[in-house]
Structure 1
Amino acid sequence: MLLQDMLTMQQHVYTCLDSSACYEIFTESLLCSSRLENIHLAGQMMHCSGPSVDLPAAVTNKGGAQYRVRYGRSIDLVLAASREYFNSSTNLTDSCMDLARCCLQLITDRPAAIQEELDLIQALGCLEEFGVKILPLQVRLCSDRISLIKECVSQSPTCYKQSAKLLGLAELLRVAGEDPEERRGQVLILLVEQALHVHDYKAASTYCQELMAAGYPESWAVCSQLGQSEGYQDLATRQELMAFALTHCPPSSIELLLAASSALQTEASDHKYSKSWCEDGSASGSSSADLLHWTTATTMKVLSNTTTTTKAMLQAVSDGQWWKKSLAYLRPLQVPVESFAEVLLRTGKLAVAKTEVFPTT
């Protein structure tokens, strides 16, 4: 057996080395062998949980050495091997990623360092779901992890609606380190910006309300953007957003925000006055509703009759025969030539004339 040969050489040749070094070297070689069965065998050579007791090297169980590597050193060996596999992987489905996961799962109580590596592997799957194509090594070396969340939003513009999933991804990536409030604030700001970009004011308002409730000061900029968005009709909420922005903004932005807040307050007052006036007008006008209805009906009837008459007139005017008949009335009267006697007879004057001209004897 290789381990036994190493121990023999240590006892007779390399006496300056401690026997524990032999166990560590042997365990490390098993972990880095790229074979799952050897990795599982390495688990039998280590203390895999904190409460276990470090047994001396001479203790055996049916001829096999048990728990030869101390717990702290076991974690170091597992982390080194798993990171090597992780960094050499091309994607989540790479066989090396399975080896990395297998190494990490040897430590059963999962301390923080082990859990962080497992979370990083899980984060790769979430990034792929959002359409982010990136090498595992690039994810590890990314110092600004919030940029990975930005890339998710860029690749999937509607993912701003999946706040829980993005916040979970940010936790897996350890955005903002171990500060959950800072992490949540940074992610929600990204979601507000994307919601404003697509004019989803309802979603933007929901996220801004969360930011204001948490008192996250860095969100003053997105709160002021939503507060000044004319497309967002909730004037009361917009005033709250502007008040929060004024409270947390830097001194250089106070003047501009004050002007915007004043204009918004004036708009809100005008809206409130107009609404009150409309309500009063509707109350006083309810008593004359019947009269208004009758007047409207009568007006519509008159307009209908006028329309019918006008239509008939236009149809008549457009008729050529109508013009001929009308022009006949405009011609001068033609009086026929008559004799003087005919005129007198027609007018009843002839009898009188005869009496005067030819008197009876």
Structure 2
Amino acid sequence: MKNVHNEDYASFVYFHESTKGESGRAVYINPELLSRFLDLIDTRQSSGQNTARLINAIKDIKVDANGLSTNSNLSNGFEARKDCGPVEVTYTVYQDNASSHRGPGAYITKLKRLHKDEQEEDKPAGLYKATLSNRRSWDLKKEEGCTIPTAIGSIGAIFNGERYDAKKTANQFGKYFESNSQVKNKDLNNQFSLYYAPSYIVDALGIWKTAKQKRIASNAGPKQLAEIFKASLPWGTTNTEGKAKYHWYVFGEGAKILALSLKELSAITTNKKLHEHQFTFIDPKENIGSLLIELDKLGARADKTNFQIAQDNLSSKLHQIYKADDVRPKALKAQNSAWNTLDGTVSPIADQYKKSLLSNNQTTFVDVLSKANKAISTGWA
């Protein structure tokens, strides 16, 4: 069967020890999806139950691949999708042997977040102004233009287990600002900007399952955020000294959206820089080294201790070791002592991670996941 996706299926690994084809169809997965797999579960809750549920649901592909519980791609008869709780799994089924893959079986190529908002309770992606109400919750007002309304800004979105929730996002980010001594009251002034960025606004990161998609601006996401940054660039003297005008706090998957928007910004601006913008990362689900490279190109500020990763946030930590060799020397080692400390932590764990991937062709994805988690948990200071 022809490999129409130009995927290197030969590099895929078995998903689980029980999916090697001895009982049911063999199930393989792209090992590059490891970091995305951890993004889609909260390893800090339910004592690993979320992980176990997702693993078990994916294992079932060995018996129902192209069966009644899957959605097949009618234009491509061997591609199918399966909903596994809050995650949609896309895979390609091969019936034959060929050099482009490892033999008959199901090959998992994509993992995407499912946003189940049938009642259309959530707000669309975009820029909002959050204001603290008398009830100690944060009210959201949609900003129609590209003007950043406050000095403190945030990028990200909170997923509540089934859907994204803008109100919960504002309240959780607001609570962070109120309790963080580094956020000055006079800067916050009971209000902050929120670029609400659920992962469904980028096709590669997730799927919107309701009709509300029709109400989302076509440029919502990285392009719109890039336009907002562009609109803030000074036309006169550039402030390269002293305090930044805007301080952005980037939470979780918001780092993915920021990374894409910085590339968009580079394409639409030439001689203007983000000198007046400062960025702090909280549990970023993106490689900090990669982000530093792009921020440095654009003249933005992100130095010293402007990253915070919770001790139990395995997903964020995995992003720092993932493909670390490509970005660590240029980005981390060129920075100050705080970044060098991070590099000293990342380097040995990245080496262990690479060895676990290259062990042998019987390696399973779940085994690599377990080894990566163990290496991170024991090796991260």
Higher relative contact order (CA 8 A, sep 6+): 2
Greater share of helix: 1
Give the greater-gyration-radius structure (CA).
1
If the length of structure 1 is used for normalisation, what is the TM-score? Answer: 0.26
If the length of structure 2 is used for normalisation, what is the TM-score? Answer: 0.25
Greater share of strand: 2
